[in-house]
Every structure is written in C-alpha cells, then in structure tokens.
Amino acid sequence: MIPSKSDGGWAKLVKGEVQYSLKSVPAGLMVSRMKRETAASDDPATLRRCIDEVYGFFEKYETILRDDIAIIFGKEA
C-alpha cells in the first residue's frame, strides 16, 4: 500500500525537497517534470495537480514501483 495522498512525502517528492535517485524510468522522468513544474509556479493548484498525477501513477504501477516506493517512503510503506 502506498501512503495516502495527504502524506507530506508526496509534496516533498514533487517539490524536489528531497533528491531521490529512483530506479524506474517513468518515475524518474515524471518526478523531474513535476519538480520543474512546481519550481516554475507557486500556485497551490499546481502543487495539488502534481501530487494528484504522481499519486495516481504510483497507485497504478505499485507493483513495478515497489523499489521506488521503498526509496521514497521507507521499507514499511
């Protein structure tokens, strides 16, 4: 199970507040795009949209992204 959308880890991820080196190709590409988008806009709606998108991605591909979920949220996630 991935953490709920309200977990602060998602905001840190898309804002690039913690730099992760992710294993999955689409995860790396997507997170980098989110970081550029949040860096370019202070609008809270941008942050919410990025969290929605990245959460939906991790939820859909949870099996493929198991290693990356552990990197971001720790082994217990």
Contact positions toward another protein, by CB under 8 A?
19-33, 35-36, 39, 53, 56-57, 60-64
Q: Give me the residue label for tokens 């997170």.
A: 31
Smallest distance from another protein to CB 60, Å: 7
Smallest distance from another protein to CB 7, Å: 18
Smallest distance from another protein to CB 23, Å: 7
Nearer to another protein, 31 or 69 (CB): 31
Contact 41, 64 (CB under 8 A): no
What lies within 8 Å, CB to CB, of 12 at 6+ separation is 18
Q: Give me the residue label for tokens 């980098």.
A: 32
